[in-house]
C-alpha cells in the first residue's frame, strides 16, 4: 500500500502522488471555526503525518487558519516534517483570516496578503512556501486580479514558489493565468456535489495541465461534520463488490475523473489514513462509474451558493 498506487501528476515543477493529505481535521477545525472539541494529542498528530509520508504521501494541504485551542496544523506539520521538507510539497491558503481567538475576519485586502504569507512561513518554519492558493471568499462577480496580483509580487520576491486558486470559477482561472502560472485549483467536489463538471472547470484544468484538487471528496455535503454511516445505496453496492469502505469508493470515484485530479482526504485516525491511501489502488469499472453517476457530460445541480 502506497500513495503512488494512484499515479502521479505534476504540481508546479514537482511530480507528486495523486493521493495527498489534508491537514484541516488535525485541529478539529473547519472553515466554520468549530473548535470546541478537545485538542488532538500532539504526538499522535506528529506520528500520523510521518506515517502518511512513509506511505508515499508527498502533497499536504494546510492553512494558517487551520487552528483550534492549543493546536495549529501548520506547526504540527513543521514539527513532524522539519527533516523531510524536500520530500513533501506543502500547499497552503491565504485570503480569509481569523483573529487569535478564532473569530473570522472576512476576506483580506490585497495589501494584507503579505502578512498572511509571512504567518505561514513562520508557522511552517520555511523561507519559501511551495504552493499558495488564493482562497476566494469574495463576491463571485468580483475580479480576483488585485489579490492574485499581490501574490504574484510575493512570488517574484521569492516568498512563494507556485500559485493556485481555491473556491474558484473558470473565469477566475483565466484572469489569474493572465498574471502568473496557476498550478492547481482547489474546490469542493465529490459524488454529492460536482458543480465543477457542469461549469467545465474540471475539464478546463485538465486541458491546461492544472491539477484539480477536490476537498470534501469523502464528506460531501456534510463538509466538516463528523462522519455518518453511508446513506447512498450505490456507494454501498460498489464498496461490497470490492471489499472496500464507502469512503474508499468515494475517493476512487473522484480520482477516476481524470489523471490531473488529486485527492487530499484528511483524518486524525491512523486506520482511516491507511484506508484513504489504499483507495488509490481501487479501480472502478465503467459500469460502476456509470452507476455512481459518472460526471462526464454535466455536473450535479447546485446545492449552495459556493463556486463551481
| Residues catalogued as catalytic | 66
Specify the residue for cell string 446545492.
303
Cell numbers of 156, please? 517574484
- Yes or no: say if 89 and 14 are a contact pair by the CB < 8 Å rule: yes
Selection from 175, 133, 138 nearest residue 155 by Cα:
133
Q: Are 239 and 247 in contact (CB under 8 A)?
A: no
DSSP letter, residue 191: T
What residue has cell string 504567518? Answer: 119
| All residues at 6 or more sequence positions from 113 whose CB lies less than 8 Å from its CB, including other chains | 94, 95, 147, 150, 151, 154
Long-range contacts formed by 290-295: CB under 8 A, 24+ apart: 291/234, 291/237, 291/238, 292/191, 292/234, 292/235, 292/238, 292/249, 292/253, 293/191, 293/234, 295/194, 295/197, 295/202, 295/257
Rounded CA separation 54/2 (Å): 9
Closest to 161 in 3D by CA, of 187, 133, 136, 186: 133
Residues 214, 261 contacting (CB under 8 angstroms): yes
Burial of 137 (0-12, 13-18, 19+ CB in 10 A): middle
Confirm if 125 and 157 have CB atoms less than 8 A apart: no
Amino acid at each position: 500500500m502506497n500513495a503512488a498506487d494512484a499515479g502521479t501528476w505534476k504540481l508546479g515543477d514537482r511530480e507528486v502522488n495523486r493521493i495527498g493529505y489534508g491537514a484541516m481535521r488535525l485541529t478539529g477545525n473547519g472553515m466554520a471555526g468549530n473548535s470546541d472539541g478537545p485538542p488532538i494529542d500532539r504526538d499522535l498528530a506528529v506520528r500520523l503525518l510521518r506515517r502518511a509520508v512513509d506511505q508515499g504521501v508527498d502533497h499536504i494541504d494546510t492553512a494558517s487558519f487551520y487552528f483550534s485551542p492549543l493546536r495549529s496544523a501548520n506547526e504540527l506539520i513543521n514539527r513532524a516534517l522539519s527533516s523531510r521538507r524536500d520530500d513533501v510539497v506543502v500547499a497552503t491558503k491565504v485570503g480569509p483570516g481569523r483573529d487569535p481567538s478564532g473569530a473570522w475576519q472576512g476576506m483580506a485586502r490585497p495589501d494584507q496578503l503579505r502578512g498572511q504569507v509571512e504567518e505561514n512561513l513562520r508557522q511552517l518554519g520555511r523561507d519559501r512556501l511551495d504552493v499558495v492558493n488564493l482562497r476566494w471568499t469574495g463576491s463571485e462577480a468580483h475580479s480576483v486580479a488585485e489579490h492574485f496580483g499581490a501574490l504574484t509580487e510575493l512570488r517574484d520576491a521569492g516568498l512563494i514558489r507556485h500559485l493556485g486558486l481555491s473556491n474558484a470559477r473558470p473565469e477566475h482561472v483565466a484572469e489569474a493565468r493572465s498574471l502568473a502560472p496557476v498550478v492547481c485549483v482547489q474546490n469542493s467536489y465529490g459524488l454529492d456535489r460536482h458543480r465543477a463538471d457542469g461549469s467545465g472547470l474540471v475539464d478546463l484544468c485538465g486541458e491546461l495541465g492544472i491539477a484539480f484538487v477536490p476537498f470534501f471528496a469523502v464528506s460531501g455535503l456534510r463538509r466538516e461534520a463528523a462522519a455518518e454511516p453511508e446513506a447512498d445505496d450505490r456507494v454501498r453496492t460498489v464498496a461490497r463488490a470490492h471489499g472496500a469502505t464507502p469512503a474508499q469508493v468515494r475517493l476512487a470515484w473522484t480520482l477516476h475523473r481524470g489523471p490531473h485530479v488529486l485527492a487530499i482526504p484528511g483524518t486524525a485516525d491512523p486506520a482511516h489514513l491507511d484506508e484513504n491511501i489504499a483507495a488509490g489502488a481501487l479501480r472502478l469499472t465503467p459500469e460502476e462509474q456509470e452507476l455512481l453517476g459518472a460526471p462526464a457530460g454535466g455536473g450535479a445541480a447546485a446545492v449552495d451558493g459556493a463556486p463551481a
